[in-house]
Structure 1
Amino acid sequence: MITMLSMSICTAGARIGYLGPAGSWTHQACMELFGDSELVALDREALFQALRAKTVARACVPVTTSVVGATPYLDDVLAFEDVHVVAEYTKVLGYSLLAKPGVRRKDIRTVIAHPVALEEVKPWLDLEMPEVERRAAASAGAAAKLVAQGSGSDTAAMGPPSAARLYGLTPIVNGIEEGPHNTTRWWVLGHAMPAPGCNDKTSLLLTIDEAGFQRSLQALTGSARVLAIYERPGKRSLEGHRYVIDVVGHASQPEIARLLAEHGEFRLLGSYPRRY
């Protein structure tokens, strides 16, 4: 089903890029957001190149998880100067253990998954399958594809149930580590920021040295209610810092607009309907 969110940010015929291959959690998120008729699976580099070249209208990437915090893709997003966060999407994940038909749980010697997924299912694996080898893959879809194309029958993947359907695998166990502690947030990136709504969130990037941090933080808290702060590598020196900051409201609101006009250390990443 195509949601109200998809109708508000996806125009007819506009392609949506996501981290491929098919069968990843990002693919699952995009199907829930937009349906599956205009989705394009791309690898990490190609996805951001396509967004920069505008050969896709939107790109969907996971940016934070409740288990490991910021994902590696968040810094890719911060490198863009000319795109906006136009939507967010959150999902409580429950992994499935996927193997070829006929494979039993006791036959499995290796489990393949995205590194974040391996962290999220670690408590279950430690308890239920402590002896298996754990191998990283680029995504849940890539993990399922490796299992499906492999010659052996002692390997399984951790991923969404949709990956089983795509690659002809069988879910051996479902709902692994499912719960609010296993929540992933995606950002949808685009070139045109949505108009103000009734319940918006704004994401900012603050680049500052230690001496100026307190001053900037005071200016921010005097302008908007802060929801979250994520520190990112400064990239230039140990004294320089970058912070992704989520606040309540839309960038067009006078207080936030004034902050951005008067404090050049803040960069607007986007304003979008709040879902989390």
Structure 2
Amino acid sequence: MTAVLCRRLVFLAALFGLTGAAHAAGTGYLGPAGSWTHEACADLFGEADLRPLDRAALFAAYRGGEIERMCVPVTTVAVGVTPYVDDVLDLPQVRVVAEYPKPLSYSLLAKPGARLEDVSEVVAHSVALVAVKPWLDVHLPAARRTEAVSNGAAAKSVAEGQARSVASMGPKLGERIYGLKSLADGIEEGPHNITRFWVLGRALPAPSGNDKTSLVIDTVDGRLADVLKAFDAGGVRILDIYERPSKVRLDQHRYLIEVAGHAAEGNLATFLAAHPEIQVLGSYPRKY
């Protein structure tokens, strides 16, 4: 049995709920608590049974069937594709079951008693530092900007430190979790500051009538035009294309191609049956 056929059978089994670890439980997110992924999971699933994990542990827990689902940020208006997309593509089996575009509104969090004029260092995730740069350039132009592995980790480091001159940038829920004080809210709030999260689960949802499907194809650069022509000839409407490294050759890339429709119905189902070399990451209700 070829690798392509095996992958297709695994996909069909997952589509109809025939696979998945029975012992999996809970929702994993990029911890520590207080990250945007934490807030996204709380929006989607409530606070019960959420598990904060570091990056490596989160993907290992999903891969090993220790959690029912996980949530990761995959694209942002500010920086495009996040580093976590490559982690998802490296998983041996992926089921994207939902997307969640979330407008972000940052808060500057510091230890109680601190004032805005006291802040000489701002700690945040690298993506956050890009998103809030216009605000920092105006209000704290001289402050040092320090990267953290997540915005939850940034808030935790401020809480555990002694200096009132250090503040973190992230969700306001860090104020409650770590006993911090918000010095400014609503930073970079607006339609331009949106992060899209993927929920990875075990079985794909049934068609909703307005779906999106995420696909991956690994190909050499000279064949990309033929790939795109095949989509057009098959009546499949492309919504987005993201180029990722193949980790094999300079002239070979993985292309994350997102299309309209559900993998189990219509033109898309027919197209995928004719192109087993295309990997289906998931089909889910389209949110934008």
Tell me which interval the TM-score lies in, with the shorter structure as reference length: over 0.9
Is 1:27 matched with 2:38? yes
Supply the AA of the counterpart residue of 1:238: L
Residues 173-225 of structure 1 show CA distances to partners (whole Å, capped at 9, x for unaligned) of 00111111110000000121111112110001121112211111011123311
SS of the residue 1:153 aligns to: coil
Aligned to 1:36: 47
Contact 1:83/1:192, CA 8 A, preserved across alignment? no
Residues 101-140 of structure 1 show CA distances to partners (whole Å, capped at 9, x for unaligned) of 1100000110000000000001111111110000000111
Matches of 1:130 and 1:177, distance apart in 2: 16
Contact 2:124/2:146, CA 8 A, preserved across alignment? yes
Residues 143-187 of structure 1 show CA distances to partners (whole Å, capped at 9, x for unaligned) of 000000001111000011101110001111001111111100000
Matches of 1:104 and 1:133, distance apart in 2: 16
The runs of 5 or more residues in structure 2 that have no matched partner are 1-21
Quote the sequence identity (%): 55
2:120 corresponds, among 109, 113, 116, to: 109
Matches of 2:109 and 2:185, distance apart in 1: 9
Is 1:78 matched with 2:89? yes
**1:1-276 correspondence to structure 2 within 5 Å:** 14-222=25-233, 223-276=235-288
Aligned length: 265
Matches of 1:97 and 1:221, distance apart in 2: 47
Q: Which moved more, 1:23-32 or 1:234-243?
A: 234-243
Displacement of 1:265 in angstroms is 3.5
Displacement of 1:254 in angstroms is 3.4
Structural RMSD (CA): 1.3
Q: Which moved more, 1:258-267 or 1:66-75?
A: 258-267
Matches of 1:70 and 1:210, distance apart in 2: 20
Matches of 1:240 and 1:83, distance apart in 2: 22
Matches of 1:72 and 1:200, distance apart in 2: 25
Matches of 2:181 and 2:147, distance apart in 1: 20
Supply the AA of the counterpart residue of 2:286: R
Which TM-score applies when normalising by structure 1?
0.93
Displacement of 1:258 in angstroms is 2.4
Contact 1:208/1:265, CA 8 A, preserved across alignment? no
Matches of 1:107 and 1:253, distance apart in 2: 59
Residues 243-267 of structure 1 show CA distances to partners (whole Å, capped at 9, x for unaligned) of 1111110001232122222224421
Supply the AA of the counterpart residue of 1:132: A
Supply the AA of the counterpart residue of 1:225: R
Supply the AA of the counterpart residue of 1:136: E
Matches of 1:258 and 1:80, distance apart in 2: 26
Matches of 2:139 and 2:148, distance apart in 1: 21
